Amino acid sequence: MKQKSGNAVDAMSRHSSNSEFQAIAVTFVRVTMLKKQNPVSFHIIENESKQNQMIWTYPTISDEIKTFLLSRCFPVGSVTAELFFYLRKKSQFHENERTKALVVTGEDLAPAKYRIICDILTNKYVKTTNPVDLVKLYLNLITSGTVYQENGTEIAFNLKSYKGDAKVKGLLSDFGLEVILLYNAILLKKRILVYHYDIQILEQSLLAITNLVLERNPDEYLYPLIQSVHEMKDNSFYLAGTTEEYSLNHGACYDLYVNLVSKEIIKSKEAKEFFVMTKIHKDLAHVLVQLSKSELSESEVIEEITKKTNDILKQLCSLATHMSDNNRATLSVQDLKAKKFNPDLEKFLYNLAVAQNIMSL
């Protein structure tokens, strides 16, 4: 008799624990996508004598993506664009001095979902070493969302709807009142560098940070894993992850440095003026701390934060008295000064108007 389990995460973790080798890394990076790529595809890359070759791909892969994956697998790095790929490397998967890796590509930022897909496909490949078996699993995932394990267990896994937990409440709890600095940096489109030596913790935290301000589109500023902070020197707005411990020393390349290990947030000297706390910030910071302790779900917490963001933006737009050539309301320095706000609030509203592209300079 078949046994059903609706929890793919638990089922896969139980199955993985009995595997003959352990996964040592899973990560995702943004990849330049020159041609339309399948929303989800998987590929097997083999390394022999320090040379990478793709020995299997399904359904298809463009030449551009193939070249990129081969150049970045063992080890992994990142460049900018719209496609994410997820790599599950196996430390003891050796065959005649060859090491193999399974790579899954996807168009959405959902590390928890793709980690499960990687594990499902990898566990099968480890047992059979037959890529055709992976095609069957892939088709089951795409069409019915059901995967059958060798022991007869049926795992229900809805590929389209599964997003995983953003863990925003954990982020709010970890940083307390200081989380307002992260919120403010995303809202004002500043440069944020996030460090952790563990890639999985890094990727989960980056996902949580992107959910603080839904007004900003992560596709425009998120770089999950960079090789060097100097890659970002020409970017005025970014959220980048790094495993480089000494990246803190490059203060000219970031406005805010987040150390996930020590739970510390550091402002660069040049950017301190953007992080002066007004009453708006102080009030919101206390709300965020309260939300971290609430019984609300992750989605409800994100919704409450979004409401607060919308309130701030509505307040800003209410100050706009001019219309641009494209019939859009704009705000001038004179408008702000006429309200006689205190200097800190005036400066914040000015910077926010610039970020929203409604300031007439």
Task: Supply the pLDDT for residue 189.
Answer: 97
Cα 171 to Cα 29, 139, 204, distances in angstroms: 21, 36, 10
> Do 260 and 324 belong to one domain?
no
Q: Tell me the CA end-to-end span of the chain in Å, nearest whole number.
A: 71
Query: What residues contact residue 51 under an 8 Å CB cut-off, 6+ apart?
Result: none
Last residue of a domain, one of 156, 188, 209: 156
Domain assignment present for residue 77? The answer is yes
The pTM for the full model equals: 0.75
* Spatial contact of 72 and 87, defined as CB atoms under 8 Å apart: no
* 182 located within any domain: yes
CATH number, residue 203: 3.40.50.11500
Q: Are residues 137 and 208 in the same domain?
A: no
Tell me phi and psi for residue 25, to 5 degrees: -160, 140
Task: Assess whether 132 and 185 both reside in one domain.
Answer: no
**φ/ψ of residue 36, rounded to 5:** -60, 130
Residue 229 lies in a domain: yes
Question: From CA 67, how far away is CA 27, in angstroms rounded?
Answer: 18
Evaluate whether residue 361 is within a structural domain: no
Per-position pLDDT tens, the chain of length 361: 333 333 433 433 333 333 222 222 334 444 433 333 445 788 888 877 778 888 888 888 888 778 877 876 765 433 333 345 555 444 334 455 567 778 887 766 777 777 778 778 888 888 888 889 888 888 887 777 767 665 656 667 777 667 667 899 999 999 999 999 999 999 999 999 999 988 778 888 999 999 999 999 988 898 888 878 888 888 999 999 998 888 888 888 999 999 999 999 999 988 988 999 999 999 999 999 999 999 999 999 999 999 999 999 999 988 887 776 666 778 888 889 888 999 999 999 999 999 999 888 6
Judge if 181 and 122 occupy the same domain. no
Q: Residue 27's pLDDT is what?
A: 40
Instruction: Assess whether 240 and 105 both reside in one domain.
Output: no
The verdict on 149 and 118 lying in the same domain is yes
Same domain? For 300 and 271 the reply is no
Domain C-terminal end among 131, 156, 181: 156
Read off the pLDDT of residues 132-147 as tens digits, 9 standing for 90 and up: 988 888 888 777 776 7
CB atoms within 10 A of CB 345: 16
The answer on 108 and 147 residing in a single domain is yes
Instruction: List the domain range (segments joined by +) for residue 321.
Output: 294-355
- Same domain flag for 7 and 152: yes
Within-domain flag for 253: yes
215 touches 228 (CB < 8 A): no
Predicted pLDDT at 26: 35
Residue 149 lies in a domain: yes
Do 145 and 210 belong to one domain? no
pLDDT score, position 85: 53
How many structural domains is the chain composed of?
A: 3
Please tell me whether residues 317 and 187 are part of one structural domain: no
**Any domain includes 148:** yes
Supply the pLDDT for residue 9.
37
pLDDT tens, position by position, 203-215: 889 999 999 999 9
Within a domain: residue 286?
no
> Is 96 in the same domain as 145?
yes
Query: CATH code at 39?
Result: 3.30.450
The whole-number pLDDT of residue 151 equals 65
Q: Which of 107, 122, 156 represents a domain boundary (last residue)? A: 156
C-beta of residue 335 within 8 angstroms of C-beta of residue 320: yes
